[in-house]
Amino acid sequence: MSFIVHPKLAPPEPEPGASLQVLRAVATFEMTKGLIVLLAACGVLLLVHREDPWDIADGLLRLLHISPDHHFAQVFLDWADNLTEAKLWAVAAVAVAYSALRFVEAYGLWYARTWAEWIALISGTLYLPFEIYNLVHRQSVFHVSVLLINVAVVLYMGYALKTGASLHSVRQHT
């Protein structure tokens, strides 16, 4: 009795160089987000021990040529008026933790680590409802771009995990 083994039809393996380029592009994007939030945390910490955060917020609005009469400018000024030192430290701590997560994710994606792929998929998926909400309430090129980039990252990471074209297999080829 003889058995004939038929090979399964498998999808073509992605070219490691192209996959690694996509991963590194996502890693660069995540690193950039982490740096922006870290800089914002430093800016928040500069407000600690200041006499009047409202004056600083008002000066920032003037620097950006934003009228304090606008609704969001007024919300920003009201927020600044209610700031305490404890709130500033809490905001800075959350921002630093967020940045650390982005930096760890960027490192893992750059070096094609599977755990980073999961972080990118989960965190990207968590942002989608908020991005859709923002787009529904404030249509702009910026909000559309953010949503499209995030959807692309989530779809790519999901595809890579589902098809086995994961970071680990890409890393083994390089």
- pLDDT tens digits along 116-153: 999 999 999 999 999 999 889 888 898 899 999 999 99
pLDDT of residue 65: 85
pTM of the model: 0.72
Cα dist from 37 to 40, 99, 120, 172, whole Å? 5, 6, 17, 33
pLDDT in tens, 11-68: 444 456 678 888 999 999 999 999 999 998 998 888 777 767 788 888 888 888 888 8
The yes-or-no verdict on residue 88 having pLDDT over 80 is yes
3 state SS of 51: coil
pLDDT of residue 11: 44
- Angle at which helices 16-45 and 85-110 cross, to 10°: 170
pLDDT of residue 98: 95
Which residues neighbour 81 within 8 Å (Cβ) at sequence distance 6 or greater? 53, 54
The yes-or-no verdict on residue 115 having pLDDT over 60 is yes
